[in-house]
């Protein structure tokens, strides 16, 4: 694995974070469909939006790790 600006352990840590955030996204999306309370549904939708952005940013770190 060619890592120009990040160590292998850093790439691994980001990958672990990415997997965790994907799990959070899946769970929040699934629970949002089941929730009856509108305030809780709004909170879950907000979390889904934020988590999608976080996943995208983590993917950019992995994809563009040699570009600066």
pLDDT in tens, 20-65: 999 999 999 999 999 999 999 999 999 999 999 999 999 988 887 6
Q: What is the pLDDT of residue 26?
A: 96
67 has a pLDDT exceeding 80: no
DSSP string spanning the chain? ---SSS-HHHHHHHHHHHHHHHHHHHHHHHHHHH---HHHHHHHHHHHHHHHHHHHHHHHHHHTTT--
Q: What is the torsion angle, in degrees rounded to the nearest 10, for the CA atoms of residue 4, residue 8, residue 14 and residue 18?
A: 110
3 has a pLDDT exceeding 60: no
Q: What is the pLDDT of residue 11?
A: 87
Q: What is the pLDDT of residue 1?
A: 47
């Amino acid at each position: 694995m060619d890592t120009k600006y990040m160590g292998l352990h850093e790439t691994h840590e980001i990958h672990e974070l990415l997997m965790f955030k994907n799990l959070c996204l899946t769970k929040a999306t699934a629970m949002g469909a089941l929730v009856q309370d509108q305030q809780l549904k709004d909170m879950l939708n907000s979390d889904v939006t934020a988590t999608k952005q976080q996943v995208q940013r983590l993917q950019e770190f992995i994809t563009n790790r040699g570009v600066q």
